[in-house]
DNA sequence: TTGTATTTGCAATTGGGTTGCAATAGCAAC
DNA sequence: GTTGCTATTGCAACCCAATTGCAAATACAA
């Protein structure tokens, strides 16, 4: 697929080696419409050549370091990763929707602004906006809700 | 102290037993001006009679269940607990400041509003606003920053 | 093709959080 | 004050996401 070329270039631009693990993980993150846990990713890449657990962790952290992905801890205190908006620089004020039923994280486009006033001596570097609730898949009118 | 009376009443109101662990933990949370980790609390209560690790976890979860405290996973995927605003019902839209140096969580008074637009089928129950940066204690002009 | 620094894979470890179960202790009733 | 019952506690063992150390494999520049 053409996206692979795209990704290779992105990696190479950073003076980094283009490895299958990096390509596959980033491609997956980019095609995912929501934040994926380490486990999700491991499962998704299990076809054919599985990726080692540790390698996966390292690739993910590397992607975050490079500003190609970002990382949030969900309610179950599990990290979820998503691709950063194409550019590369770590994305600034971003809004997330966290489903309290399935724990999945979605990125909301429509992002708000302005940090609230901070106490003296505090400095802000990033503002995160998290909306909790039920995602479309879990928002069905059923009583089977945990 | 008078606060203890206050807390005893709060617990009793819930048809729950008033135990030293519950009293001490809730009193501590109420006097703390920021979210505390399990470890913070364990350390803080270590004078005289220490509280068992497991008991502490259970007391904390119970407090959350009762709406007397709330629980957030911080960036290091560690839970932090804070007392709920006196009433008891879990507090609504709240703003947090998270120090990326020391990992501590502070509650910001000046709370913002309005959730962003959500995709169809999504329902929001709570909005969290998280500001990241350096807290007053860590914001000193030094290179000794991890 | 070769040399080498970067990545990978494996095995072992860390650490926050949880579970099972017997011992303890609130507290309501006598 | 004593008794009895149930809610809590404390201990020990366990779970699992994430991390670390190190040797083997490999991307890629020369």
CA distance A77 to A44: 21
Residues paired with A133 in a beta bridge: A99, B124
Mean pLDDT over each residue of chain A, to the nearest integer: 79
Helices (H) and strands (E) in chain B, counts: 4, 6
Report CA torsion sign: B130, A105, B92, B55. negative
What is the rounded average pLDDT of the residues B44-72? 91
Of residues A130 and A42, which shows the higher confidence score? A42
Position B1 confidence tier, pLDDT thresholds 50, 70, 90: low
Query: Does residue A140 fall inside a structural domain?
Result: no
Q: Specify the number of domains making up chain A.
A: 1
What residue numbers bound the domain in which B6 lies?
2-133
- Tens digits of per-residue pLDDT, B62-100? 999 998 998 888 878 899 998 886 544 444 456 777 676
CA distance B63 to chain A (A): 17
Inspect the interface and report whether the beta carbons of A116 and B95 lie closer than 8 Å: yes
pLDDT of residue A110: 60
Query: What is the percentage of chain B residues whose pLDDT exceeds 90?
Result: 33
Residue B62, domain member (yes or no): yes
Nearest DNA or RNA nucleotide to B73 (CA to C1'): C16
Per-residue pLDDT, A13:
87
Confirm whether B90 is domain-assigned: yes
Where on strand D do bases come within 7 A of a protein Cβ? Answer: 7-13, 17-21, 27-28
Asked whether residue A142 carries a pLDDT value surpassing 50, the answer given is no
Name the residue among B106, B122, B137 with its Cβ closest to that of A133.
Answer: B122
Query: Can you give the CATH number for the domain in which B34 is found?
Result: 1.10.10.10
Q: Is residue B141 in some structural domain?
A: no
Asked if residue B76 belongs to a domain, the reply is yes
Task: Map residue B23 onto helix, strand or coil.
Answer: helix
Sign of the CA dihedral B58, B61, B67, B69? positive
Which residues bind near strand D, taking a CB cut-off of 7 Å?
A: A 12, 17-20, 37-39, 53-54, 57-58, 61, 73, 78-79; B 16-17, 19-22, 51-52, 54-55, 58-59, 62, 77
């Amino acid at each position: 697929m053409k996206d692979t070329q795209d990704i290779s270039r992105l990696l190479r631009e950073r003076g980094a080696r283009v490895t299958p693990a990096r390509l596959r993980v980033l491609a997956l993150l980019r095609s995912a419409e929501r934040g994926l846990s380490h486990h999700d990713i491991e499962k998704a890449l299990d076809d054919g050549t599985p990726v080692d657990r540790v390698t996966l962790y390292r690739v993910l952290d590397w992607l975050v370091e490079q500003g190609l992905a970002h990382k949030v801890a969900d309610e179950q205190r599990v990290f979820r990763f998503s691709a950063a908006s194409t550019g590369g620089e770590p994305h600034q004020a971003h809004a997330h929707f966290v489903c309290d039923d399935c724990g999945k994280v979605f990125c909301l486009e429509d992002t708000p602004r302005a940090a609230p006033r901070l106490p003296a001596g505090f400095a802000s570097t990033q503002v995160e906006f998290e909306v909790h609730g039920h995602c479309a898949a879990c928002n069905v009118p059923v009583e089977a809700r945990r």
